[in-house]
Amino acid sequence: MIYDLANDLDRVRLEKRFKALLTAQKVVEVKEYKPKRSSPQNRYLHALLGIVAMQTGNTLAEVKIEYFKKHCNSEIFVTRRDDKLLGSVEVLRSSAELDTGEMTTAIDRFVRWYETESGEVLPRPDDEAYIQAIEVEMAKHSYWL
């Protein structure tokens, strides 16, 4: 169940539920709800990754991991954890975990970086015709992407 703590009725409901769980001595998980990124953001990011992959000769996966996550947005995606055998290892956060704000920031950084490095202009989110054309090209080259 999700409770909006800005809503008085939801706060009362949560307090009742929490008291019942405390009384029953249940095991619970409490986490903050963050809205997931939007479908238009997913589509836009996929198109951007495809453009860069086709321009650089890399796969979509390589562009997403090396350029988008590690190079442009390491503070959002890259963490470290201790492994018993390997010591400190790098772990990449899934982009599915990002909320819309984090995804907007990550995409903006990627676009600025690529445009600066390549001198090419990437489409903006509202450039439907350009994004559609890229999706068609990506479908034609799907074997290599």
pLDDT digits (tens, 9 = 90+) for 96-132: 899 999 999 999 999 999 999 999 999 999 999 999 9
Mean pLDDT across 81-95 = 95
Reduce the DSSP state of residue 98 to 3 states and report it: coil
Mean pLDDT across 12-36 = 83
Same domain, 79 and 23: no
Give the pLDDT of residue 36: 59
pTM across the whole model: 0.73
Is residue 74 one of the residues assigned to a domain?
A: yes
Is residue 5 one of the residues assigned to a domain?
A: yes
d(C-alpha 48, C-alpha 122), whole Å: 7
Is residue 116 one of the residues assigned to a domain?
A: yes
Same domain, 24 and 61: no
Is residue 52 one of the residues assigned to a domain?
A: yes
Q: How many domains does the chain have?
A: 2
d(C-alpha 16, C-alpha 20), whole Å: 6
Tokens in use for 131?
Answer: 């994004």
**Alpha-carbon 106 to chain mean position:** 8
Same domain, 44 and 29: no
Domain coverage including residue 83: 39-140
Same domain, 26 and 47: no
